[in-house]
Chains A and B, each alone.
Chain A
Amino acid sequence: MSAVVVLLPLVLPSAYYYRVAALVFVFGLAAVGLNLLMGFAGQVSLGHAGFMGIGAYAVAIGPTHLGLPSWLCIVGGAGLSALVAFVVGRPILRLKGHYLAVATLGFGLLLAIAFSNEARFTGGPDGMAVPRLVVFGFSVRGAQAWYWITAASFLIGAVLALNLIESPSGRALRAIHDSEVAARVLGVDVARMKLTVFVVSAVYASVAGSYFALLNGHITPDVSGFLRSIELVAMVVLGGLGSVAGSLVGAALLVMLPQTLTSLHDYEHMALGLIIMGVMIFLRAGIVPTLARALRRA
């Protein structure tokens, strides 16, 4: 994976491609976090874009209304997301299956509605501008700079995730996925582990959301909307639940799709829906695991 990241710039012809790639890494980061929650711990969250929204608006509101430096706001946003995830997660994660899905859905939507309505702070439905990131006096601009930042962040996030998965905590997570009761019998503190993963995945999403806002220079409440949450879930499931590389593939697919379809803009939703349905029906385990299995057999 690192090889792909480093070699890719040699192939990309223009700034536009760098920008698309940066977006892929941003969403890949969020997808990896969600994958930890869905693929490994086996919980479902249909509202994760809400955390992206927290991170994104933190980076917008902080510098504009509170005068804080942007990089501090990234950290602040992540901290706030972690706090919210902790507070909300405790009662919500007691639920299972469809009930958990609806609860997370409701949570994500509540955040989106709040972002849209509190126009005084958030600029309302039209969104607000995001001041550029300034690090050590350098104003970060240009798609290339963002490419390296997001790529590095993604790699760090992926490595952390893989480490977590291979560790005893990771094994505990997978035990929870297979059977919560059995895990509890074995002595795994199920509630605490689920909450930890939820908070971790919220932080991933928040940082991704902050990057997204800084990259675009402008955000709207859509960043935490239902469709965005579904896209995140789709990225995780399409790429492969439980596969970190899959999260990147899923993110790439769903980010690049609208870009390639700009000529057929009206048909974008149709194509998106068809692809989601098609992959889910025919490549059920997700793209990466299915391909890996096929390659292993061949």
Chain B
Amino acid sequence: MSELLQFAFSGLTVGAVYALVALGFTLIYNSCEVINFAQGEFVMLGGMTTVFLGLAGVPLPLAACLAVVVTVAVGLALHRLAIEPARGSGAVVLIIITIGASIFLRGAAQVVFDKRFHSLPPFVGGDAIRIAGAAILPQSLVVLAGAVIILVLLWGFIERSLIGKAMVATAANELAARLVGIDTRATVGLSFAISAAIGALAGILITPIALTSYDIGTLLALKGFAAAMLGGIGSAVGAVVGGLLLGLLEAFAAGYVSSQYKDAVAFLVILIVLLAMPRGLFGRPPVERV
């Protein structure tokens, strides 16, 4: 029992990161139908920038804030320089552009930072807390709590504020949104900025536990994407549930089956989900215009 609980804890912690990455995917996909493969790089940038600013002498809380700002700037640049000019291209072209962007960002990180693994001191120190025979790090709780807070804030923003409603409108029908006076270009840019912020925060939160390096972005993006698909792309609830579920499945597989194939779990799950229930857990049935 305690073993199961242990796996569940680590699965939920990692799952929270997947959930945040998946949420970022969903935000951008909803606003402009682009699968942003550079999402994982946002997570990497958040962690790495904080580490390096900290090494340069900046106090950590300030470094974290600056890291988020930097990542948001990168996200906005990505939108303005890479996605906007290519509007109207097919889905494949846009996917390739974001993949190219992720490769570019990874290469830049390699040059600006370095190739080693880095860590941050945990936000809440102390030993692991024991619950029913399993141990959970205080930082894990911070990650989970952070994810919940981000979710609640995001939900509040989208449901309650005017800008949030503009984002929903743009996602529903871009032409109609423009006709009622919404600046859709700015709205899409905003979705990129928020996605980048979420990614950066996820990166900062998880670095004390899982370390960070210049190349964690790719695998994270792939798994986050898998999580978003699992939950049903286009559904924010689905993204979160998908992420947590994926984290749990991965942890259980690593613990009970084989830790070598841990990474394969995500993709195996994806294949099974796509073949059995293509629109994921919470997705809308795809409507094809003939």
Contact = CB atoms under 8 A, between A and B. Distances in A.
A102 B92 CA distance: 12
A277 B100 contact: yes
A276 B100 contact: yes
Interface in A119-140: none
Given A99-B278, A109-B267, A110-B267, A269 B107 contact: yes
Interface in B86-102: 86, 89, 91-93, 95-97, 99-102
Contacts of B102: 273
A38 B270 contact: no
B162 interface: no
B4 interface: no
Interface residues of A, number: 46
A107 B278 contact: no
The interface residues of chain B, by DSSP majority, are classed as: helix
Interface in A81-121: 91-92, 95-99, 101-103, 105-107, 109-110, 113-114, 117
A167 interface: no
Contact of A113 (B93, B263, B270, B274): B263
Contacts of B286: 96
Interface stretch (B46-54, B163-171, B190-198, B222-230): B222-230
Contacts of A233: 92, 96
Contact of A101 (B95, B260, B268): B95
A106 B96 contact: no
Contacts of B261: 113, 117
Interface in A38-57: 38, 44
A237 B270 contact: no
A295 B98 CA distance: 30
A276 B266 CA distance: 27
Contacts of A114: 264
Interface residues of B, number: 44
A280 B274 contact: no
Contacts of A226: 218, 222
B89 A284 contact: yes
A234 B96 contact: yes
B125 interface: no
A169 interface: no
Contacts of B229: 98-99, 102
Among A97, A101, A281, residue most surrounded by chain B Cβ atoms (within 10 Å): A281
14 contacts: A98-B35, A99-B274, A105-B222, A109-B263, A109-B264, A110-B268, A237-B92, A269-B107, A270-B108, A272-B103, A273-B103, A276-B96, A276-B97, A277-B82
Interface of B: 35, 82, 85-86, 89, 91-93, 95-97, 99-108, 110-111, 218, 222, 225-226, 229, 233, 260-261, 263-264, 266-268, 270-271, 274-275, 278, 286, 288, 290
Interface of A: 38, 44, 91-92, 95-99, 101-103, 105-107, 109-110, 113-114, 117, 179, 181-182, 226-227, 230, 233-234, 237, 241, 266-277, 280-282, 284
Given A103-B275, A106-B274, A284-B93, 8 more contacts: A99-B229, A99-B274, A110-B264, A181-B288, A233-B96, A234-B99, A277-B104, A281-B82
